[in-house]
A and B are shown apart, each in its own frame.
Chain A
Amino acid sequence: MGMRTVVGAGLILGAFATIAVVAFFSNQQLYLTVDELVADSALYPGPLDADARGDLAGRRLQVRGTVDYATLSRPGGGLELRFDLTGKDGRLPVRYAGMVPDTFEQAEAVTVAGVVAVDGTFQADDLVVQCPSKYEAGLPSAESMGLGEVGKTVPGAAVDDG
């Protein structure tokens, strides 16, 4: 391969890489926890009055937190779901219209994507459930299984002789 070929291919790749990086930064979404969002007055000014409506940029965000299932409601029995997403101290009311994954009801953490609406609620158009123990359950312990004794032998179950 001649030097010119290498330089030419490198230039094309470099140009492409630049496009990719620029596209990345124009498509990126901030990914925050509820606490981080609620504490950030620029991103989350809280409920606004009608005059301030125009100031809110409506920037797309992703917010991660824990669902407060006590606040879960479906007004009108339709698709729309309302719940509070909570962090350590912060609390963010969320509205989401759409189906939730099967794992929603026992999710440890949920990430919602959308924009902060003028009334201070988060209008989500996407909801992802994160469940660290999705495919593997935590190991059982004597307490969690309700067993008093450790290493109890069970007739009928496969008993290891080793």
Chain B
Amino acid sequence: MTAELGYLALVLAWAAAVFAAFSSSVGATYGMGRLVASGRRALLAAAGLSTVAVGALLVAFARHDFSIAYVWQTSSTTTPPFYLVTAVWGGQSGSLLFWSWTLALFAATAIARRWRADAALMPWFTAVCGAVLGFFLTLTAFVANPFERLTVLPFEGNGLNPLLQHPGMAFHPPMLYLGLTGLTIPYAFAMAALLARRTDAGWILASRRWTLVAWAFLSIGLALGARWAYDVLGWGGYWGWDPVENAAFMPWLAATAFLHSVMVQERRGMFRVWNMVLMILTFGLVIIGTFLTRAGLVASVHSFAQSDIGPYFLVFTAVLLVGSLALLWTRLSYLRSDGVIDAVLSRETAFLANNVVFMGALFGVFWGTLFPLVSEIVTGQRVTVGPPYFNRVVLPVLWVALLLMAVAPAVGWRRARAALVARALRGPAAVAALLGVALVALGVRQPVALVAFTTCAFALLTTLAEMARAARARMARGEAPHAAVGTLFRRNRRRYGGYVVHLGVVLLAAGVVGSNVYQQETERTLAVGETLRVGAYRLTYEGLRVTEAADRRSVAAVLQVRRDGRVLGSVLPRRDVFRLREDQPMTIPAVMSRPLEDVYTMIGVIDPDTERVTVKAVVNPLIGFVWLGMIVLVAGTLVAAWPDGSEARVMNAELRRLLGTAVPARGA
């Protein structure tokens, strides 16, 4: 029954979404209020119905209903309850349902919050969301149906892939989906603004916070994916420029560019067309990314089974890009810029440079990810590039972004005075240079590391100095230091949240450089009692340890870690064999995290007779900064995106002040 109920809800949700798209667009075009109102109700209904479908799938998992192919594929009676829930998005068809569901919830939330505030935009917004939702529900209901039945009734499920049984994996996909579906909302606002010919600040106001929220989810998703790869995949790294990683990274880059250039539009009324292009590009990349991930076109750790949803995505992407850009073309006259860039040294130029940098990085990733596919289709010969290409092309561009991050906050709007900029940057530059000299004295010789670390220090110091300067200005008016900082964050969440994001990026960059440039790696086969040397560490193999658990049997190699003759403890890299999937053992790395570096270990072949074991050991310096940077980055984004009334209050206060200067305040 649950399968039938779920499928019925799914088909009804599809019908409601398609109806919402038609009804809203016809209603908005001909000014028919009743059609607009029923379009709104239809989209809300689609959100409710897709919730029912997800609920039904969840019940099917809870009841171990293996007559449903998807439940059979991704769970078993021994799957822990937590992973029964995560199995809902653990496979192809379920993840598409989850995608649709989150999109429907986001759209419904936006409609509930802004229906009155943006009365002119919302019917079109509903139409665009309905169309996108309709596409995804078409796939879910008719192409990759998660409620499809098996022709046999199996005794036991296939079980969730052991690789996916990791907390990071439980939250990594949904966070990414939330980020990707979340970006639909600002795109829909942008298209609504064009369709309704309301290209003033309205769509920007409506969409910038949604972009921030989506960006936060996307960042969390990427961070968790990195952590999962580090904890589970066992190659000692966290980012491999895998096509599917790139697929999620590209919309992130485009959205980052948008979040910066939108400020120029808010402040100066410039870059209007460009911001539209960025929004279309971002959403186009979301769809291309989903397509790459789902259609099994690229070979990667992420590939799902070969599937037949590819052509649908191709057509949808083409329609989407051509349609959006054509619409933009017909509305160009509504997007006249209010101003021009007055001077080369100005915040406007800095934001422009930021956009050029992010577009450059995006192009590099895009070319390296998609050209192999295109070349194979056109010439029949496949070529690929690996991490060296991406590191050489994309990382230098991101270094320029780091440099801009250090300089730009000190550069004023319109026409910055060079003397002021120089004064703000002098101190931090001097300290960063000193740090560079100190690093050389400490024995750091690699030019890449020296340049990167000093740039990090420069960016860190200018950002902190910028915050300190603003706080001092408040303290000069008699506020206590902590209160001054608090007021800054309350008054201008976006700005100071943004600075916190910048601090996170600095930490992340330092971690990436440290763990790449100074990574050390050794691999050897050890007999019991033998010692492996990696960096300053000595790992002594003390023997195997076998543990039996209900669902698995683990064989671990006990490795004692010593540094400078001192025993630091033991690490136990292991191999798990799951009883349900004996053919698929899983090797789990073991990590000893030290304050400034990680000792990362992994085992290969185990010879059961001689107990000889192949050990791979990696020392990853500064890798803690990668995780810390990601956490700070997300925290900063949350500060910037946190919903509050203060923005409205600030605007009201401004308005009162403006009126107050024109009309003397009452009672004064």
Residues of chain A touching chain B, judged by Cβ–Cβ distance below 8 Å, are 1-2, 5, 9, 12-13, 16-17, 19-21, 23-24, 27-32, 62, 74, 77-79, 98-100, 102-103, 105-106, 111, 113, 128, 130, 132-142, 145, 147, 150-154, 157-162
A24 touches B368 (CB 8 A): yes
**At the interface, yes or no: B321 with Cβ under 8 Å from chain A?**
no
A-B pairs, 4 with minimum CB distance:
A99-B604, A31-B382, A27-B389, A162-B1
Number of interface residues of B (CB under 8 A): 81
B363 touches A20 (CB 8 A): yes
CB-based nearest A residue for B65: A158
In the docked arrangement, what's the CA distance between A62 and B381, Å?
A: 12
In the docked arrangement, what's the CA distance between A147 and B150, Å?
A: 13
Task: Return the contact of A151 from the options B64, B152, B299, B355 (Cβ within 8 A).
Answer: B152
Q: Which residues of B contact A154 (CB under 8 A)?
A: 153, 155
Interface of A is mostly: loop
A158 touches B64 (CB 8 A): yes
**At the interface, yes or no: B393 with Cβ under 8 Å from chain A?**
yes
Which chain B residues numbered 158 to 209 have a C-beta less than 8 Å away from chain A?
158, 161, 163-164
B359 touches A13 (CB 8 A): yes
Task: Return the contact of A106 from the options B355, B359, B584 (Cβ within 8 A).
Answer: B584
Q: A30-B382, A136-B91, A161-B1 are in contact. List 4 more A-B contacts (CB 8 A).
A: A1-B341, A20-B360, A27-B386, A77-B525
**At the interface, yes or no: B422 with Cβ under 8 Å from chain A?**
no
With known contacts A27-B392, A62-B384, A102-B587, A135–B153 Cβ distance under 8 A: no
B341 touches A5 (CB 8 A): yes
Q: Which residues of B contact A134 (CB under 8 A)?
A: 161, 301, 303-304
16 CB < 8 A contacts A-B:
A2-B340, A16-B360, A31-B381, A99-B605, A100-B604, A128-B299, A130-B303, A136-B73, A136-B92, A140-B150, A145-B152, A147-B152, A151-B151, A157-B153, A159-B153, A160-B1
B152, B163, B372: most-surrounded residue (chain A CB, <10 A): B152
In the docked arrangement, what's the CA distance between A147 and B155, Å?
A: 10
Which chain B residues numbered 46 to 75 have a C-beta less than 8 Å away from chain A?
63-67, 69, 72-74
In the docked arrangement, what's the CA distance between A32 and B397, Å?
A: 32
B69 touches A158 (CB 8 A): no
In the docked arrangement, what's the CA distance between A24 and B385, Å?
A: 7
Interface of B is mostly: mixed
Task: Return the contact of A135 from the options B161, B384, B607 (Cβ within 8 A).
Answer: B161
Q: Which residues of A contact B386 (CB under 8 A)?
A: 27, 29, 113
B63, B364, B575, B585: most-surrounded residue (chain A CB, <10 A): B364
Smallest CB separation, A145 vs chain B (Å): 6
**At the interface, yes or no: B90 with Cβ under 8 Å from chain A?**
yes
Smallest CB separation, B152 vs chain A (Å): 5
A16 touches B65 (CB 8 A): no
Q: Which residues of B contact A130 (CB under 8 A)?
A: 299, 303
A79 touches B524 (CB 8 A): yes
CB-based nearest B residue for A15: B360
A106 touches B583 (CB 8 A): yes
With known contacts A16-B360, A79-B525, A142-B151, A102–B585 Cβ distance under 8 A: yes
Task: Return the contact of A140 from the options B74, B152, B296 (Cβ within 8 A).
Answer: B152
In the docked arrangement, what's the CA distance between A13 and B397, Å?
A: 11
CB-based nearest A residue for B305: A136
B152 touches A141 (CB 8 A): yes
With known contacts A103-B584, A132-B296, A27–B385 Cβ distance under 8 A: yes
**At the interface, yes or no: B614 with Cβ under 8 Å from chain A?**
yes
Q: Which residues of A contact B383 (CB under 8 A)?
A: 28-31
Smallest CB separation, B138 vs chain A (Å): 21
In the docked arrangement, what's the CA distance between A139 and B3, Å?
A: 18
With known contacts A20-B364, A31-B382, A154-B155, A79–B604 Cβ distance under 8 A: yes
Smallest CB separation, B327 vs chain A (Å): 20
**At the interface, yes or no: B4 with Cβ under 8 Å from chain A?**
yes
Q: Which residues of B contact A31 (CB under 8 A)?
A: 372, 381-384
Q: Which residues of A contact B65 (CB under 8 A)?
A: 158, 160
With known contacts A106-B584, A135-B91, A158–B305 Cβ distance under 8 A: no
Task: Return the contact of A157 from the options B155, B158, B337, B382 (Cβ within 8 A).
Answer: B155
Q: Which residues of B contact A77 (CB under 8 A)?
A: 525, 607, 610, 612
Task: Return the contact of A27 from the options B154, B299, B388 (Cβ within 8 A).
Answer: B388
**At the interface, yes or no: B271 with Cβ under 8 Å from chain A?**
yes
In the docked arrangement, what's the CA distance between A145 and B158, Å?
A: 11
In the docked arrangement, what's the CA distance between A138 and B266, Å?
A: 52
A132 touches B303 (CB 8 A): yes
With known contacts A13-B363, A106-B583, A135–B305 Cβ distance under 8 A: yes
Q: Which residues of A contact B584 (CB under 8 A)?
A: 102-103, 106
**At the interface, yes or no: B616 with Cβ under 8 Å from chain A?**
yes
Q: Which residues of B contact A32 (CB under 8 A)?
A: 382
B602 touches A99 (CB 8 A): yes
Q: Which residues of A contact B433 (CB under 8 A)?
A: none
A160 touches B3 (CB 8 A): yes
Q: Which residues of A contact B583 (CB under 8 A)?
A: 105-106
In the docked arrangement, what's the CA distance between A141 and B575, Å?
A: 31
B587 touches A139 (CB 8 A): no
**At the interface, yes or no: B274 with Cβ under 8 Å from chain A?**
yes
B90 touches A135 (CB 8 A): yes
With known contacts A136-B91, A161-B1, A20–B393 Cβ distance under 8 A: yes
B393 touches A23 (CB 8 A): yes
In the docked arrangement, what's the CA distance between A154 and B72, Å?
A: 15
CB-based nearest A residue for B296: A132
In the docked arrangement, what's the CA distance between A32 and B382, Å?
A: 7
With known contacts A154-B155, A157-B66, A19–B393 Cβ distance under 8 A: yes
Q: Which residues of A contact B132 (CB under 8 A)?
A: none
Smallest CB separation, B577 vs chain A (Å): 10
**At the interface, yes or no: B356 with Cβ under 8 Å from chain A?**
yes
Q: Which residues of B contact A135 (CB under 8 A)?
A: 90-91, 161, 163-164, 303-305
**At the interface, yes or no: B306 with Cβ under 8 Å from chain A?**
yes
A152 touches B305 (CB 8 A): no
